A = this chain, B = another copy of it.
Amino acid sequence: MERSIAHACVPLRLVGPIRIIGETGAYEVKAPLATFESPLWPSVARGARATSKAGGISAVILRDAMARSIAFEAGSAVRAAQIIRELEGRRDELFSIAEATSRFLKCHEIAFRAVGSCVFLRLSGNTGDAAGHNMITKGADALLHWICKTIPGVRYISVSGNYCTDKKVSSVNAILGRGKCVIADVLIPPAICHSVLKSTPEAIAELNVKKNLLGSIINGGVQSANAHFANMLLALYIATGQDGANTVEGSQGICHAEVRNGSLYFSVSLPNVIVGTVGHGKDRSEIKERLAALGCMEQRKAGQNSRRLAEIVAATVLCGELNLLAAQTMPGELVRSHMAIERRTKRGS
């Protein structure tokens, strides 16, 4: 491994303004999108225009906790059950042990699974403004150490048992929560659908059912019904110093659209947005500047900056998803626009 650290440069544009109505009121931001896929920029930009004209995107956070699962051997299923029952009864004690490892960690929940005699314990908790990978791991590691020392007959298996789960496809993250569960929605009048998106509420809603819902069910996906959440997520994650591989679970989410009194109701539900405004990767000055420009470096209560960032993530995802669906309602449009944009980018860069 070479000692010197170089850099890979990923093209970045500020796209927007995107108008968002969030926890702390309404605001506008330009989303920094770092990507080699240049068509993403005009795609999000058009979605931003349509949604801003419609009054802005509402974003709300339903859940906010990081998770890590440990695994240990109990020797037999009966013993596994006994241990689980004992640990469930000592929940507050376990929380204290985990919380003692960090000033910020606030434990929310401990969930158990067992396969034969192997026990998986999943700890989740709020990690303030940090994405919290390390914070929750330290807490879980302390639990595991305590359990191996305290509970007779327990054998260490792993500080991470994949019932967490980080950067992998799963259902557990959506069901029990990991990171921030964010929903963003907007109501777009037909005139804006037509003038900005060159489509209709009916066409977009039908396409969403057939492509995003039915298409995702037949492709064998889980917890996933969208066209390209991953594109917007990764571009924002790279631009803001996040752990970009969390795009994997971030990509699992649902786009739902329906016609309401002639308007288009359009929503994106992202159960697993994993972002932070402090911690590893965020100490770089260019990252700090971008986070500040997004209004995510303010003096606020712990967690509020990262929650604002999650709102921005969801709203940006909505813009890009809305635009792509609108484009795909028109035969030939996708291919035409991609070719044109990529040619232009090539010349320009």
- CB interface residues, A 173-193, toward B, < 8 Å: 173-176, 183-185
Q: State whether A161 touches B211 (Cβ < 8 A).
A: yes
**Contact of A97 with B by CB under 8 A:** no
Closest residue on chain B to residue A7 by CB atoms: B9
Distance A21 CA – B76 CA, assembled complex (angstroms): 13
In the complex, per-residue mask of A298-332: 1 if CB is within 8 Å of any chain B CB, else 0: 00000000000000000000000000000011011
In the complex, per-residue mask of A225-265: 1 if CB is within 8 Å of any chain B CB, else 0: 11110110110001101111101100110101010000001
Q: A76-B58, A171-B172, A284-B349 are in contact. Are A223 and B223 (CB under 8 A)?
A: no
Closest residue on chain B to residue A62 by CB atoms: B81
- CB interface residues, A 56-109, toward B, < 8 Å: 58-62, 69, 71, 76-78, 80-81, 84
Q: State whether B256 touches A115 (Cβ < 8 A).
A: yes
Q: A159-B328, A221-B222 are in contact. Are A172 and B175 (CB under 8 A)?
A: yes
**Contact of A34 with B by CB under 8 A:** yes
Question: Taking chain A's interface residues, is the majority helix, strand, or loop, or is none over half, making it mixed?
Answer: mixed
- Which 9 pairs from chain A and chain B are nearest by CB? A171-B220, A162-B215, A116-B267, A171-B171, A36-B281, A8-B34, A230-B245, A1-B45, A77-B183
Q: State whether B265 touches A117 (Cβ < 8 A).
A: yes
- Given A116-B256, A118-B256, A120-B215, 20 extra CB contacts under 8 A: A1-B44, A36-B280, A62-B81, A71-B210, A76-B185, A138-B335, A157-B206, A167-B230, A169-B221, A169-B252, A170-B221, A171-B172, A171-B220, A172-B218, A209-B213, A213-B225, A217-B223, A234-B244, A247-B247, A283-B346
Choose from B37, B118, B329 the contact partner of A280 (Cβ within 8 Å): B37
**Contact of A152 with B by CB under 8 A:** no
| Shortest CB distance A198–B (Å) | 15
Q: State whether B13 touches A7 (Cβ < 8 A).
A: no
- CB interface residues, A 1-27, toward B, < 8 Å: 1-2, 4-16, 21
Q: State whether A114 touches B183 (Cβ < 8 A).
A: yes
Q: A160-B328, A331-B148 are in contact. Are A170 and B213 (CB under 8 A)?
A: no
Q: State whether A332 touches B145 (Cβ < 8 A).
A: yes
Q: A162-B212, A207-B157 are in contact. Are A115 and B221 (CB under 8 A)?
A: no
| Shortest CB distance A321–B (Å) | 12
Closest residue on chain B to residue A255 by CB atoms: B116
